[in-house]
Amino acid sequence: MNLDTTVKEYFRIPERAHYKGTFGVELELEGTFVPRLNLLGWRCEEDGSLRKSNAEYVFSKPCTFKGTGIKVRRLFKALEENQAVINDSKRAGSHLHVNMQDFTLKQMWTFYTLCLLFENGLVEYCGKERVGNLFCLRTADCQRVLERVKSALNRGSLMNLKTDAIRYSAINLKSLFSYGSIEFRCMKTTTDIDYFMYWVGAIEAIRLSVSKFSDPKDVVSQFSLHGWEGMCKMILPDHERITNLISEDDARESMWRAQEVAYAGDWHQTEENLGSVQWADKKDLFNDKQRADFDKV
The residue-averaged pLDDT of 260-289 equals 59
* Eight-state DSSP code of residue 63: B
pLDDT in tens, 137-154: 999 998 899 999 999 999
pLDDT in tens, 95-136: 999 999 999 999 999 999 999 999 999 999 999 989 988 889
Q: Looking at the predicted structure, is the pLDDT value of residue 55 above 60? A: yes
**Cβ-contact 159, 173 below 8 angstroms:** no
Angle at which helices 65-81 and 193-209 cross, to 10°: 170
Instruction: List the domain boundaries for the chain.
Output: 7-265
pLDDT of the residue at 285: 36
Q: What percent of the chain has pLDDT over 70?
A: 89
The residue-averaged pLDDT of 237-251 equals 96
Measured from the Cβ of residue 225, the count of other Cβ atoms closer than 10 Å reads 9
**Cβ-contact 255, 135 below 8 angstroms:** no
Three-state secondary structure call for residue 57: strand
Distance CA 282, CA 243 (A): 37
Counting beta carbons within 10 angstroms of the beta carbon of residue 39, is it exposed (0 to 12), middle (13 to 18) or buried (19 or more)?
A: middle
pLDDT in tens, 8-41: 999 999 999 999 999 999 998 888 888 888 899 9
What separation in angstroms does the CA of 223 have from each of 119, 138, 195?
15, 21, 28
pTM exceeding the 0.85 threshold for the entire prediction: yes
